[in-house]
Amino acid sequence: MPLFFLIPLFTGLATGYFSKKCTDEIAYLTGLFTVISLILSLVLAPWQIQFVLLIFVIISSNRLLQE
């Protein structure tokens, strides 16, 4: 299984961490970069990981809808 999707994931997590520390308008740019890189890592992820995430979302949404 290729692990290329981890590169934008860790980049996004690192920029998200730095955007929490920053209070200027650069925090908005790093937040935007974080969202884009996390979406990119989900697109590049293998289908097995995407399937597990889909099952997790379905189960958690069913629990929220029951409440």
Residue 60 lies in a domain: yes
Rounded to two decimals, what is the model's pTM?
0.65
65 burial type by CB count under 10 A (0-12 exposed, 13-18 middle, 19+ buried): exposed
Residue 42 is assigned to a structural domain of this protein: yes
**Residue-range definition of the domain harbouring residue 37:** 6-66
Inside any domain, residue 50: yes
Residue 1 falls within a domain, yes or no? no
- CA–CA dist 12, 1 (Å, integer): 21
pLDDT tens, the chain, 67 aa long: 677 778 888 888 888 887 777 777 777 887 788 888 888 888 888 889 889 989 998 999 988 888 7
12 in Cβ contact with 37 (< 8 Å) = yes
Q: How many distinct structural domains can be found in the chain? A: 1
